[in-house]
Amino acid sequence: MILFLITTAPASYYQLADNTTISAMSTTYLGAAGLFTAILVSLLSVEITRFCQSHNLTIQMPDGIPPFLADIFNSLVPLLINILVFFGGNIIISMFNPALSIPSLLENLLRAPIAGVNSVPGALLVCFFILAAWCVGVHGMMVVMPLTTPIVLAAFAENAELFANGQTPVFHPIFMTMAIAFLGGTGNTFSFVLLCLRAKSKQLKVFGKASIIPSIFRVSEPVIFGAPIMFNPILMIPFIVGGLLSAVLFWLACTSGLLTSPYLLITGTFPIIINGFIKSLDYRYIIFEIVLAVILLFLWYPFFKVYDAQLLAKEQETDAQEDADRVHALEGVTE
């Protein structure tokens, strides 16, 4: 925390309107704008400390010194190096451009990549990658989280600050990645599970009964690996298209004012219907998710019918073969 404050909010002199000068700290980067700096400082400071300790760059105290006192002296050298890196880094950068610092330089460097990801095309591309990765058995969300998490956190922090100040939260396109998991987890597979409860094939009917509870709590692994959607060309199509359609509808609903943009970052596998509501305290999310479930029901239905018919034909073929084998076995006994 000290290193973060040294980097983002060093004490400076400011001139007021009445020409008096005060010493104060800037709060510019103490909010969402300083999130990437906080990540950089935390990672780099830990590595500097680890390097110093692993290479014995510490003040070694005699054995008779109390442990708590020895720990204080052992941390002095790593702390000094960290201060030189971050505080000195700000000084060196300001020598080239007085208007720049580590946080502002980092902000300028990341502005273009963040703008790319936090745009509608960029967010849709991220959504597509997540869904496509699941289709080949890779946890897509875990792959993109290192890229998207800082952007999502910054977006939520900005909206929380706006709401606290009595202003309306704004929609960040990165929120579209949440919409692909509103109903039943990644891919919004809850509608498919409902259809499976009415399946004619034994496999899908049993699968639907086993998956309904996890799906209510937005756990999609039983569906992806159990139906399966993974490596299944028939089910991969509505899985990807349904996820992207959900993201687009969510974007349209928020930007048109039908839904309040999320501003409460609450993690956990909250059940469907209330998951969106608790992120914005907007009851219209409940209506939106119900309507979305119906839309996805129609999207999944033709693919479900084709897959169900295939499984039913295989089951009937297997049953017929078993009956033939049983008759053949009985004929052998009677002979």
Domain boundaries, the chain: 2-110, 118-318
Give the three-state DSSP class for 11. Answer: strand
Class of residue 144 by CB neighbours under 10 A (exposed 0-12, middle 13-18, buried 19+): middle
| Mean pLDDT comparison of 117-121, 133-137, 291-295, highest-scoring range | 291-295
Instruction: Return d(Cα 129, Cα 117) in angstroms, integer.
Output: 12
Write the pLDDT tens digit of every residue in 29-79: 777 677 778 888 888 899 998 988 888 888 877 777 787 777 778 888 888
Both tokens assigned to 181: 């998991």
Mean pLDDT of 107-125: 81
Own/partner contacts of 224-230, CB < 8 Å, gap of 24 or more, are: 224/134, 224/186, 224/187, 224/189, 225/137, 227/192, 227/196, 229/134, 229/135, 229/187, 229/189, 230/134, 230/135, 230/136, 230/137
| 28 residue type, one letter | T
pLDDT at 247: 94
| 46 residue type, one letter | V
b/e per residue 63-102 (b: at least 16 CB within 10 A): eeeeeeebeeebbebbbebbeebbeebbeebeeeeeebbb
Mean pLDDT of 205-216: 90
pLDDT at 333: 56
Q: Residue 327: pLDDT band by 50, 70, 90 thresholds?
A: low
153 vs 26 pLDDT, higher one:
153
8 Å CB contact between 222 and 274: no
pLDDT at 127: 93
Tell which phi-psi region holds residue 56, choosing left (phi > 0), alpha (psi between -120 and 50) or beta. left
Whether the pTM exceeds 0.85: the reply is no
pLDDT at 335: 57
pLDDT at 329: 66
Instruction: Return d(Cα 108, Cα 291) in angstroms, integer.
Output: 41
